[in-house]
Structure 1
Amino acid sequence: MSPLAPVLTLPGWLGSGPDHWQSRWEALYGFTRVEQHDWLRPLRGDWSARLDEVLLEQREPVVLAAHSLGCILVAWWAAHSRHTDRVRGALLVAPPEVEREDLRAQIPGWAPIARTRLPFPSTVVASIDDPYGSAEHAAALALAWGSGLFIAGARGHLNADSGLADWPEGVALLQALREAAVSAPD
Structure 2
Amino acid sequence: MSTSPTILIVPGLRDHVEEHWQTILERKLPKACSVAPLEHDKLSCAARIEALQQAIAKIDGPLVLVAHSGGVMIAVHWAQKYDRPIQGALLAAPADLESPLPAGYPTLDALRDNGWLPVPRSRLPFPSIVAASTNDPLADLERVKQYAADWGSELVDIGAVGHLNPAAGFGEWPQAEELLGRLV
- Name the counterpart of 2:108: 104
The runs of 5 or more residues in structure 2 that have no matched partner are 102-106
* 3-state DSSP of counterpart to 1:101: coil
**1:127 matched to 2:133:** yes
Structure 2 counterparts to residues 1-186 of structure 1, below 5 A: 1-30=1-30, 31-38=32-39, 41-81=42-82, 83-85=83-85, 87-102=86-101, 103-105=107-109, 107-108=111-112, 109=114, 110-178=116-184
Q: Quick one: distance in 2 between partners of 1:39 and 1:24?
A: 25
Larger helix share, 1 or 2: 1
Shift of 1:170: 1.5
Shift of 1:171: 1.1
CA deviation vs aligned residue, 1:119-173 (integer Å, no higher than 9, x gap): 0000001111100001111110000000000111111001122323321112100
Corresponding pairs, count:
176
- The TM-score, its normalising length taken from structure 1, stands at 0.88
* 3-state DSSP of counterpart to 2:87: strand
Q: Bigger CA drift: 127-136 or 108-117? A: 108-117
RMSD: 1.7
The runs of 5 or more residues in structure 1 that have no matched partner are 179-186
- The TM-score, its normalising length taken from structure 2, stands at 0.88
On the 8 A contact 2:68/2:91 being kept in 1, the answer is yes
On the 8 A contact 1:91/1:123 being kept in 2, the answer is yes
Shift of 1:40: 7.6
Q: Are the structure 2 counterparts of residues 128 and 40 from structure 1 closer, same or farther at C-alpha, using a change threshold of 3 Å?
A: farther
Q: Quick one: distance in 2 between partners of 1:49 and 1:61?
A: 20
CA deviation vs aligned residue, 1:29-52 (integer Å, no higher than 9, x gap): 142010132488321111111211
Q: Are the structure 2 counterparts of residues 51 and 7 from structure 1 closer, same or farther at C-alpha, using a change threshold of 3 Å?
A: same
